[in-house]
Amino acid sequence: MRPFLAIVVMFALTAGLLLPESGRAQVRPAWVTPPVASPLVEYRQFDSAVASGPISYHVYLPTAYAAQPWRRFPVVYWLHGSGTPTEGIPTVASRFHEAIAGGRIPPLIVVFPNGLPYGMWCDARGGLQPVESALVHELVPLVDGTFRTLPERRGRLLDGFSMGGYGAARLGLRFQGVFAGFSMLGAGPLQRDLLEDRPGLQPIELRRRILEEVYGGDPAYFEAQSPSTLAAASVASLERHPPRIRQVIGTQDFTLQGNRDFHARLTQLDIAHEYIEVPGVGHVVPGLMEALGDRFWAYYRDAFQSLDPQGFASHDYSGNWYVPANSGWGLAIQSYGGQVLVLGFIFVDGQPTWFFLQERWSSPDVLQGAVWRRTNPGAWGTPQFVPEEQRDATIGTLRLEFTARDTMELSGTVAGRLVQASLVRLE
């Protein structure tokens, strides 16, 4: 995997970096990459409004995704380093695949966005490279709408290497309501002055071009986007919703000093985080993974293990749920090897209205989703049921929170009526 900006200057001059408008005309960024040659990942594109065209991305789906179609999965958004958006995808997907197969982490989805070769995972000044907006405001909702994810904050993590570690910290601090935490691997640039004169940093010519291309040539804009600045501005909100923060750096990595400075900054701000220095490892992801072994995977395991929403695969809530003294509301729940069918009814004007829940597990004990009403005169299992006459219409939403194996709190709205009931399962 190519180090952050650690390439020769001649490549920088020919790689399509944007010069100021006075130097030459702007060109459209490389939003579409070729597919990665790996059987573990799928290649996708979506039409971006902010980029005014298609953007490509890759996604790893665990084996359990196809084997357990009732199940929803947490997501790791893996942000690549500089140079090429796709170079490290096969290696990272393979390592996640092996970790899941070995039981080190629960099954999860890994999304590999395209952040452009030097997009810095932020919206560039001038609007030509809205990398941040495309990821947070377009790709995240798209992934939740396309795949069986856990579409909420605690079901999403950011991770990234080099430029991607810088991006993971930026986006994790800016969008705390979207992501439950962020991990930084060999992150950079973490200095608050991109043109700082310090031994071991990237070539100054390349840093000047990055400053011009992404930050409009404005050092103040670069500093405003830095993780250190964002951390200081986020202290109060981080206390209310503390994220899981991990920072991993090899002692032979050229970004070591910047990472030590950022670690000191987080400590000064009293922001909880895990800081790991890996002896003898340079600016390479596989080296960090191998040196840390199981400790590397503990970050994802600890974050997602309690969210593993197998639902009926681990608990069977089948049965009839109602309270005899309040028979206006009732549920009939059936499970079929992990698949769930929730039928409900309410008496309106002396007649039962049947409905069912198009459900999703938002945690192991909470089932929620849209309520659909069947307009066929007969209910399932009765002589009056005629499939050809069946019509479904959305009539509300419901939330089922199982407080124990035989008790449940039911809430929501059905057919314009507020639902709030405590139900028990009857034998």
Cβ atoms 80, 112 nearer than 8 A? yes
pLDDT of residue 418: 85
Cα 98 to the chain's mean position, in Å?
20
Q: Please state, in angstroms and rounded to a whole number, the distance separating the CA atoms of residues 416 and 393.
A: 13
Q: Please state, in angstroms and rounded to a whole number, the distance separating the CA atoms of residues 76 and 87.
A: 18
Please state, as a whole number, how many other Cβ atoms lie within 10 Å of the Cβ of residue 179.
24
Q: What's the alpha-carbon Rg for the chain, to the nearest Å?
A: 25
285-292 vs 294-304: helix axis angle to the nearest 10? 90
Cβ atoms 300, 157 nearer than 8 A? yes
Q: Kindly state the DSSP code that residue 134 receives in the 8-state scheme.
A: I
From the number of C-beta atoms within 10 Å of its C-beta (0-12, 13-18, 19+), residue 199 rates as: exposed
Q: Please state, in angstroms and rounded to a whole number, the distance separating the CA atoms of residues 22 and 26.
A: 10
Q: Please state, in angstroms and rounded to a whole number, the distance separating the CA atoms of residues 324 and 170.
A: 54
Residue with tokens 């990459």: 33
Cβ atoms 44, 130 nearer than 8 A? no
pLDDT of residue 179: 94
Please give the chain's pLDDT, 427 residues, in tens. Answer: 333 322 222 222 223 333 333 333 455 688 999 999 999 999 999 999 999 999 999 999 999 999 887 788 999 999 999 988 999 999 999 999 999 999 999 999 999 999 999 999 999 998 889 999 999 999 999 999 999 898 888 899 999 999 999 999 999 999 998 999 999 999 999 988 888 877 777 788 888 888 998 999 999 999 999 999 999 998 988 887 789 999 999 999 999 999 999 999 999 999 999 999 999 999 999 999 999 999 999 999 999 876 654 443 346 677 888 776 665 667 777 754 445 567 766 654 455 566 666 555 555 567 777 777 655 555 444 555 555 565 667 778 888 888 777 888 888 887 788 888 888 888 6
Please state, as a whole number, how many other Cβ atoms lie within 10 Å of the Cβ of residue 419.
19
Please state, as a whole number, how many other Cβ atoms lie within 10 Å of the Cβ of residue 236.
7
Cα 202 to the chain's mean position, in Å?
30
Q: Please state, in angstroms and rounded to a whole number, the distance separating the CA atoms of residues 209 and 117.
A: 13
- How far is CA 393 from each of CA 190, 355, 379, rounded to the nearest angstrom? 52, 9, 15
Helix (H/G/I), strand (E/B), else coil: 119: coil
Helix (H/G/I), strand (E/B), else coil: 294: helix
Residue with tokens 């219409």: 393
Q: Please state, in angstroms and rounded to a whole number, the distance separating the CA atoms of residues 177 and 238.
A: 10
Q: Which of 35, 161, 135, 143 is nearest to 90 (CA)?
A: 35
Q: Please state, in angstroms and rounded to a whole number, the distance separating the CA atoms of residues 43 and 41.
A: 7
Q: Kindly state the DSSP code that residue 83 receives in the 8-state scheme.
A: S
Q: Please state, in angstroms and rounded to a whole number, the distance separating the CA atoms of residues 322 and 331.
A: 6
Maximum distance among all Cα pairs of the chain, rounded to whole angstroms = 82
Q: Which of 300, 337, 307, 314 is nearest to 68 (CA)?
A: 337
Cβ atoms 147, 109 nearer than 8 A? yes
Q: Please state, in angstroms and rounded to a whole number, the distance separating the CA atoms of residues 241 and 235.
A: 10
Intra-chain end-to-end CA distance of the chain, in Å:
59
Cα 156 to the chain's mean position, in Å?
3
Helix (H) or strand (E) holding 372: strand 366-374
CA-based torsion, 167, 272, 300, 399: positive or negative = negative
